Structure 1
Amino acid sequence: MPRSLATVSLALLTVTLIGWLLHVGRSLLLPFVIALVAWYLINTVALGFKKLPLGPFRLPGWVALPAALLTIFGVSSFVFDLVTANLTELAGDAPLYQTRLEQVFNELMASLQLQDQVELQDLLPSGIVSKLISAGASIITTVAGSASLVFIYVLFLLMEQSTFDRKLMRLFTSKERAEVAFAIRAAVGKSVRHYVNIKTAVSVMTGLLTSALLSFIGLPYAALFGFIAFLLNYIPTIGSLISVIFPSMLALVYFKDLSQFLIIAGGLGLIQFSIGNILEPRLMGTSLNLSGLVIMLSLAFWGTLWGVTGMVLCVPLTVLGLIVCAQFPATRPIAILLSADGEVGEPLALHEHADIAGSTENHPKA
């Protein structure tokens, strides 16, 4: 019993220490994490280019990889310029929208005929519209400030990726251990790739439908809100809610009657519900095998550590933890708790006697 208590205490201490280091070192880690995501996207797009049907020919790797890099860079630059222009225009109109919001709120309070009148400042911070725009601008500024560092990281990852397999092979003292490591990496890559591909497809669909609906109704900044819907769709649960609230609030103060507001709020809610609760679960299936409660806890944990970036990455990071924990007897109970149904499969040992628990039986003798 004392030994078990010491083990649990040591595990909790280790987790706490790792969490503290992740939080303290976020300014150093986040650019590298973003670079890893960009590197993954570039390789995924390059693989797609190599599979393009060009008759009997296929694009060679030395052409597909630069083409993918230029594509990602071009799309990122276009989106960044579009969002920056919309935010700048929105910042100029912020005082007008703030005044209109206060007017709408006062009219609502007057219609309710409350004995004790409530002011907008009692419920929301003063200048809430300007503060929200400033928060969005600070995120853009932070991304732009770290863009050069991220680009350097991506270039080094692309230049050294041909050596990754050889380095991983030489990390292990036996062929069996290396094969298990490659099998774990393949399982993680398959699950994350499945999640990212489907999530990106439905996020693009969500952004396009959001922009189309807002443009049809006549609400300004439709492209900006479409991009926000695309980005927030990667954040489980609360992302969809926020992407409906922002344009609905603007519609409330932009239009003079409530009909457009109700159409936008209802239409965006219908889009989010249809894609998030009907289409996406059918496409995703049960491949992730993550508990809904675990996803919410992971969202809170990574959001506290790394902010919006952590919220976007919480599901892939949790999938990574589940698959790795499922391979070792000591951490297998953790994988079972993280899973949705308790079924985490058998360890990915490729040989009957492969030692993946850390013993020294297969180590070569000196």
Structure 2
Amino acid sequence: MQSSYVPELPNAADNPGRCTMTERGRVVVPGILTVIATVAAVYFSGVVLAPVACALFIIAVLWPIQSRLEARLHRVFALAIVAALLFGTFVVFMSVVTLSFGRIGRSLAMDAGQFQLLYNRLAEWLGGHGIALAGFWADNLDSRLLLRALQGISARLNTMVSFWLVVLLYVILGLLEVSDLGARIRRLTDDNAARIISGFELAASRIRRYLLIRTIMSAATGIAVWALATAFGLRFAAEWGIVAFTLNYIPFIGPAFATILPTCYALAQFQSPQSALIVFACLSTAQFIIGSYIEPRVAGNTLGISPSLVLFSVFLWTFLWGIFGAFIGVPITIAVLSFCAQFASTRWLAELLGKETIMDGA
């Protein structure tokens, strides 16, 4: 008769280290899966969540004005004044930007012959080295490709207009409901109500501070570009400064265009690749010093978050939501850390990614 062998199960008391690792795995693995699921949900729901996030960002900026006006006027009249202020600021800003881009665009159209001459020189030089540039364009560019590109640009413009219309609707409705929402939260008997109110106030204060820092750094970038363009004798120096100021609100992507466009114009104006390279090097240096060195440190020290986290936030939210994510990625991170600092279970995350002195004193 065969005897069946039953293996002896290990006793947890005999190996406490293995038990501890097992318990950690039961906590860590679900946590990792939760983070992955959350990121995936945010990515696929960007069409719905991105307008809401942008609207909350604008509400946080405008609410101090709205609350002061509500203390003296009816809520509807206060909202009308704030909406008119927002619309007027947007119109003035876009008018200046459109005028600058228009003047530069007309000048580029007038210099089309210069670009054609540069193209012919480049094609001749590449042809001497066995590279047929004309054949490359003929093989890779046709009317259908250009038509698809124009259709893509048109679709993006329509999407952007629809996006900002939805954001505007959320802003108007949100400003009307902020006071009522705050009153409902304060009526809650739970201790978390005070923490929620404190989190909202802290996040809004830091977001306004972030926008101020972003505006100052964008202005510094615009002044630097204007000064360099003036020093090099580049035409439309003031317009290039305005373009740099505007595009700098879009982290990394905007400064890249604000550097490449003046470089192309310098190539057409000076007819010298060496001069264009010097312009490119100087503009890139200014953009790097202000955008990648000064601004992350100023934002980190003022807002209580790590400079590396500022850069990571931009890349993460750009990946999730594109251009809109690049614009509001840092404010979202600021809001998340502000709420984490209010609760004991998540305060460690705010202290790990931020600076304790600013967390306590903000």
Q: TM-score, normalised by structure 2?
A: 0.69
Q: Distance in 2 between matches of 1:101 and 1:129?
A: 22
Number of the residue aligned with 2:325? 310
Q: Is the 8 A contact 2:296 2:311 kept in 1?
A: no
Give the length in aligned residue pairs: 327
Match 2:53 to one of 18, 28, 33: 33
Matched residue, 1:319: 334
Aligned-partner Cα distance in 2 for 1:80–1:149: 19
1:161-172 → structure 2 map (5 Å cutoff):
161-170=178-187, 172=188
Take 1:219 and 1:61, find their aligned partners in 2: how far apart are those partners?
Answer: 45
SS of 1:265 mapped into structure 2: helix
Letter in 2 for 1:69: A
1:143 pairs with 2:155: no
- Comparing 82-91 with 242-251, greater Cα deviation is found at 82-91
Partner residue of 1:331?
346
What CA deviation, in whole Å up to 9, does each residue of 1:196-224 have, x standing for no partner?
1121233244346646865872249x64x
| Residues 247-256 or 21-30, more deviating | 247-256
**What runs of 5+ residues in structure 2 fail to find an aligned partner?**
1-20
Give unmatched runs, 5+ long, in structure 1: 51-58, 349-366
Cross-structure match for 2:234? 217
Structure 2 residue matching 1:43: 3-state secondary structure: helix
Please report how far the alpha carbon of residue 315 of structure 1 lies from its aligned counterpart in structure 2 after TM superposition: 1.5
Contact 1:192-1:316 at 8 Å conserved across structures: yes
Distance 2:102 2:156 in 1: 11
Is 1:72 the equivalent of 2:89? Answer: no
Instruction: Note the C-alpha offset of 1:193.
Output: 2.0
1:77-136 CA distances to partner (integer Å, 9 max, x unpaired)?
A: 3444565674799499499487466346446658xx75x5485969xx869999999877
Select the residue among 24, 30, 35 that pairs with 2:44.
24
Aligned pairs (5 A) from 1:1-366? 1-44=21-64, 60=72, 65-80=79-94, 86=101, 90=105, 93=109, 96=112, 99=116, 102-103=119-120, 105-106=122-123, 109=126, 117=131, 119=133, 139-170=156-187, 172-174=188-190, 176-207=191-222, 210=225, 217-219=234-236, 223=239, 226=241, 228-237=243-252, 239-258=254-273, 261=276, 264-265=279-280, 268-269=283-284, 271-272=286-287, 275-276=290-291, 280=295, 284=299, 286-339=301-354, 343-344=355-356
The alignment partner of 2:304 has SS state of: coil
The 2-side partners of 1:208 and 1:134 are apart by: 36
Q: TM-score, normalised by structure 1?
A: 0.69
In structure 2, C-alpha distance between the alignment counterparts of 1:45 and 1:263, rounded to whole Å: 46
Is the 2:195–2:343 contact (alpha carbons within 8 Å) kept by the matching residues of 1?
A: no
**Aligned with 1:318: secondary structure?**
helix
Q: Which residue of 1 aligns with 2:8?
A: none
Once residues 189 and 16 of structure 1 are traced to their aligned partners in structure 2, the CA distance between those partners, rounded to angstroms, is: 27
Would the aligned equivalents of 1:46 and 1:61 in 2 still touch at CA under 8 Å? Answer: no
Change (3 A) 1:249 1:257: same
How far did residue 163 of structure 1 move? 0.7
Q: Structure 1 or 2: larger helix share?
A: 2
Q: 1:60 to 1:153 in 2, by over 3 A?
A: same
Specify whether residues 243 and 131 from structure 1 end up closer, same or farther in structure 2 by C-alpha distance, changes over 3 A only: farther
